[in-house]
Homo-oligomer: A and B are copies of this chain.
């Protein structure tokens, strides 16, 4: 992105203000009217919905650099809840500060416009994933997406990244039971595609995983707007 030095300073300043939250913390719930924008600095957060039968569906991941936005004009109640998956560091931006930031930093505002397009593309990709792919394909697709998204902020070097997500959360993400997630994970391991030990994921055969998932990354291409300064100097290509 074509952010100015001033824009970047602004983002650095934001990144300094992070508050810590433990894993599995609800931040906002459905039908709340949010008064803060939230920038993820560290850890994974997500949007999710509960059904009355107890099932939970995660509808989006927020990884470092992702922003939970406010709609400016209308104050619509949320259509889904927001919470952390892992321990997180979050920058909490009250509405006035958020509006002010967008006014003062038009290039950042432009970047957010792009981010919205990417977010919608990801949602459509998830619909395709849930509707049209088998268990192993679904999981493979999700892991490929995470790899690319984490790369844009330098959080994935090579083909591995920190992945401290429980299998139960994965199940809620991919619309499967956690027993089944466990078996699908084992299949990917058995096929030598991935290695998942501790809280770190290594993709052993990136090409194989992409083939299995029919992964086409073009929907993410425009996503190269790290709102969070990269940790490493240069994200892996």
Q: Which residues of chain A have a CB within 8 Å of any CB of chain B?
A: 31, 47, 49, 51-53, 55-57, 59-60, 71, 73-74, 76-77, 79-80, 110, 113-114, 116-117, 119-121, 123-128, 130-133, 174-175, 214, 218-219, 221-222
Contact = CB atoms under 8 A, between A and B. Distances in A.
- In this complex, the member of A49, A52, A60, A133 whose beta carbon has the largest number of chain B beta carbons within 10 angstroms is A49
Contacts of A130: 127, 130-131, 175
B74 A131 contact: no
Contacts of A52: 214
Given A59-B127, A79-B219, A132-B57, A51 B214 contact: yes
- In this complex, the member of A127, A174, A219 whose beta carbon has the largest number of chain B beta carbons within 10 angstroms is A127
Given A74-B222, A117-B74, A79 B125 contact: yes
Contact of A80 (B31, B113, B124): B124
Given A52-B214, A60-B124, A77-B218, A71 B131 contact: no
Contacts of A174: 131
Nearest to A130: B130
A22 to B, nearest CB: 25
B132 A175 contact: yes
21 contacts: A51-B132, A51-B133, A55-B132, A57-B131, A59-B124, A59-B127, A60-B124, A71-B113, A73-B113, A73-B114, A76-B221, A76-B222, A77-B218, A79-B124, A79-B125, A79-B218, A79-B219, A80-B124, A119-B120, A131-B174, A132-B175
Contacts of A77: 218
B124 A76 contact: no
B114 A74 contact: yes
B120 A120 contact: yes
Contacts of A117: 71, 74, 76
A154 B222 CA distance: 38
Contacts of A110: 73
10 closest A-B pairs by beta carbon, nearest first, are: A131-B175, A123-B123, A130-B130, A79-B219, A59-B124, A57-B128, A79-B121, A57-B132, A55-B132, A57-B131
